[in-house]
């Protein structure tokens, strides 16, 4: 009888690349964080049309997930059978495309790997041609395959930690392959000049005008002579703990929770996709490892999932998913917060790197794609494609988001609309905006709407506003079930306060901020000091120090910056304080700031979603509330 660990290991093995499995069997204690230099040939197989097919079936069929999974995996199985017949190692799934490595197993490896790659591509095209049209709920569909090949030396980096290892395939050879793939047309096989070298006498090619790449016309050899089927290693001695870090966090639990007779699942669900292209990051293992771990820490904070890192035309591309495999009611908000924090953190650590982001939300297909031999849990659909294209269009160090996403988060973010944008491969133009950062004050309604049925509440608000203006601090709690008009009443309160010359500050609580000290107060303090999450910590420290000097508190600058979430080093004075004394200094300074503001003008603090308030923020709120009763502060 198999042990539970053994059974789970067998279910996980198809999700891990064959060469990693072989490594872990041969040397179970070999380091996971490492850099290998590989020489061989790389083949990208892009099965075009899956996204449109998925969206089309989902719109007409009740059993869409099952239908999509059946069709996609029928084709993936055919492709993967050929890949393995020719000795290919599947390094990466990228939605509906595959990255395959050929290393050559005999003779001149440089030459043989090229023959393997070309033979495999040629036979994949032939195999799919034999399948022809596929019957679907939206009629017969013939999907096309586009393939690109390159050869040379590239880096195979394993980055991460004991809980999550990601494989990064990078280098100029890989970036050239991505550019080659980008210009490959339907049903074409395109080669780089590197791939053409050594086998030019055995294939017919045409120059692809203006690109520097070559299109394969025909072969002068028998592709079947280059079959190099590699047997799957015996995994009976393989321990689950050795390979589970190679799965995205959350996927292992998803797979193991399913009955063994249901190894392949599919779902049509709503999710948010964040793509990040980072350019200029050194290929050094330590640099790449730090970058990934910082990104992983931020993404996990908002309970998203780093699905994969792919080679891109310039630099690398990371895909982050919110809502898959586990959903939250505020996934759009989480994605926006994550994007802003990633931009801030990663640019602070890597000053020479450029980062481009694209975010979109919508329905997509999520499931296990592939075959019994090799599969991947991933997402596909138009929602994914739009996010990727937005990332491509984004200027350096900019977050581009679709209108669908911005409508969900506009009350809490500074958003600059750009209008409609035409994206490659997307039929309709997409309304696009730039996410510039978190709002410090909530978006006011552009036009004052009449409050209906809330006259008593509005009159109470006006009474509170009047008393605060006269020097009597007040606290108003607005609570109730969802949908009864709390947000509308808050908007009206802000509007009345603005009419009475109040200074407005806004703090928000979120479900993912419950364990972050001072989370509620960070946006309030950022607004007061005029800083943004993207700013360098040295700039933030300088701005905070200048303002604190005006109220005689400059020596405590590091303590307050740390409470605001910036990694500012202690000075000799603050370094001498223990945690409790630092906490008290923050409480005293925030109270001093509020009193100083109230001396100049009345202040309204809008604190939203307090059901998710973190413990430290709650204590600070209690501390302040009992000490502003004689100040012009309205909470």
When mean pLDDT is compared across 56-60, 524-528, 617-621, the lowest value belongs to 56-60
| pLDDT value at residue 317 | 95
In contact, 492 and 505? CB cutoff 8 Å: no
Share of the chain above pLDDT 70, in %: 91
CATH of domain 4-437: 3.30.70.1230
pLDDT 10s digits, 331-343: 999 999 999 999 9
Whether the per-residue pLDDT at 440 is higher than 60: the answer is no
Instruction: State residue 390's pLDDT score.
Output: 95
Contact 302, 335 (CB under 8 A): yes
| Cβ–Cβ under 8 Å, residues 489 and 450 | no
**Which range among 224-238, 338-352, 395-409 shows the weakest confidence by mean pLDDT?**
224-238
CA distances from 53 to 50, 65, 547 (A): 5, 11, 58
> pLDDT by residue (tens digit) across 455-484?
777 888 888 889 998 888 888 887 777 666
- Say if residue 262's pLDDT is above 70: no
Residues 554, 571: Cα–Cα separation, whole Å:
11
pLDDT score, position 443: 44
pLDDT attached to residue 276:
97
Yes or no: say if 90 and 17 are a contact pair by the CB < 8 Å rule.
yes
pLDDT of res. 447:
39
Per-residue confidence (pLDDT) for residue 583, from 0 to 100: 92
Mind listing the pLDDT tens digit for each residue in 360-384?
999 888 888 888 888 888 888 889 9
Report how far residue 430's alpha carbon sits from residue 94's, in angstroms, rounded to the nearest whole number.
23
Average pLDDT over residues 580-596: 92
Sign of the dihedral through C-alpha 280, 281, 283, 284: positive
Evaluate if residue 453 carries a pLDDT over 70: no
90-139 pLDDT, tens digit per residue, is 998 877 789 999 997 666 788 999 999 999 999 999 998 888 777 777 77
The whole-chain average pLDDT of the chain stands at: 86
pLDDT at 263: 47
Model confidence over 11-52: pLDDT tens digits?
Answer: 888 888 888 888 889 888 888 899 999 999 999 999 877 667
User: Tell me, what's the pLDDT at 484?
Assistant: 62
Distance CA 394, CA 377 (A): 27
| Per-residue pLDDT at 451 | 47
Out of 165-169, 293-297, 530-534, least confident range: 530-534
Beta-carbon count within 10 A of 101 CB: 25
Higher local confidence (pLDDT), 261 or 350: 350
Q: Which two tokens stand for residue 630?
A: 């004689």
């Amino acid at each position: 009888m198999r042990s539970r660990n053994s059974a789970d290991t067998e279910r996980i093995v198809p999700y891990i690349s064959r060469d990693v499995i072989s490594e872990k069997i041969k040397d179970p204690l070999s380091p996971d964080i490492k850099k290998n230099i590989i020489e061989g040939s790389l083949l990208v197989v892009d099965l075009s049309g899956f996204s449109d097919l998925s969206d089309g079936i989902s719109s007409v069929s009740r059993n869409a997930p099952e239908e999509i999974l059946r069709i996609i995996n029928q084709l993936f199985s055919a492709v993967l059978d050929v890949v393995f017949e020719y000795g290919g190692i599947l390094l990466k799934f990228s939605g509906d495309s595959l990255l395959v490595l050929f290393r050559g197993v005999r003779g001149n490896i440089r030459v043989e790997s090229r023959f393997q790659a070309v033979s495999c591509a040629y036979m994949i095209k032939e195999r799919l041609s034999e399948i022809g049209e596929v019957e679907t709920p939206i009629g017969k569909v013939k999907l096309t395959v586009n393939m690109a090949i390159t050869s040379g030396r590239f880096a195979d980096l394993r980055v991460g930690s004991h809980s999550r290892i990601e494989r990064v395939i990078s280098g100029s050879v890989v970036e050239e392959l991505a550019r080659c793939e980008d210009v490959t047309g339907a049903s074409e096989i395109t080669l780089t000049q590197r791939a053409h070298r050594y086998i030019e006498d055995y294939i017919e090619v045409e120059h692809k005008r203006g690109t520097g790449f070559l299109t394969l016309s025909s072969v002068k050899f028998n592709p079947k002579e280059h079959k190099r089927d590699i047997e799957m290693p015996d995994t009976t001695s393989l321990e689950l703990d050795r390979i589970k870090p190679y799965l995205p966090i959350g996927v292992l639990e998803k797979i193991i929770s399913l009955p063994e007779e249901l190894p392949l699942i599919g779902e049509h669900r709503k999710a948010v996709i964040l793509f990040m292209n980072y350019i200029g990051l050194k290929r050094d293992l330590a640099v790449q490892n730090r970058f990934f771990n910082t990104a992983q820490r931020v993404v996990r904070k908002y309970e998203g999932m780093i699905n994969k890192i792919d080679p891109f035309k310039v630099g690398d591309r990371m895909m982050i998913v919110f809502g898959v495999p586990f959903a939250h009611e505020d996934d759009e908000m989480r994605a926006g917060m994550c994007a802003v924090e990633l931009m801030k953190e990663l640019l602070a650590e890597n000053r020479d790197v450029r980062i481009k982001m694209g975010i979109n939300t919508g329905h997509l297909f999520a499931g296990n794609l592939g075959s019994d031999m090799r599969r991947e849990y991933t997402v596909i659909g138009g929602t994914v494609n739009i996010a990727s294209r937005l990332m491509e269009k984004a200027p350096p160090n900019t977050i581009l988001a679709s209108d669908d996403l911005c409508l969900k988060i506009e009350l809490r973010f500074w958003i600059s609309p750009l209008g409609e944008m035409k994206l490659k491969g997307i039929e309709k133009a997409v309304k696009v905006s730039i996410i510039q950062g978190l709002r410090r004050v909530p978006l006011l309604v552009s036009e004052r709407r009449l409050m209906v049925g809330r006259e008593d509440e509005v009159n109470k608000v006006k009474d509170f506003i009047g008393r605060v203006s006269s020097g009597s601090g007040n606290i108003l709690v607005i609570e109730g079930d969802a949908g009864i008009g709390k947000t509308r009443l808050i908007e009206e309160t802000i509007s009345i306060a603005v009419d009475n010359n109040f200074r407005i500050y806004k703090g928000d609580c979120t479900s993912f901020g419950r364990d972050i000290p001072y989370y509620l107060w960070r946006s309030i303090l950022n607004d007061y000091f005029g800083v943004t999450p993207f700013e360098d910590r040295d700039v933030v420290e300088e701005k905070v120090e200048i303002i604190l000097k005006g109220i005689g508190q400059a020596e405590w600058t590091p303590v307050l910056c740390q409470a605001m979430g910036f990694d500012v080093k202690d000075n000799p004075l603050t370094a001498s304080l223990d945690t409790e004394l630092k906490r008290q200094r923050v409480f005293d300074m925030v109270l001093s700031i509020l009193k100083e503001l109230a001396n100049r003008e009345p202040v309204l603090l809008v604190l939203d979603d307090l059901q998710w308030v973190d413990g430290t923020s709650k204590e600070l709120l209690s501390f302040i509330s009992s000490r502003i009763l004689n100040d012009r502060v309205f909470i």
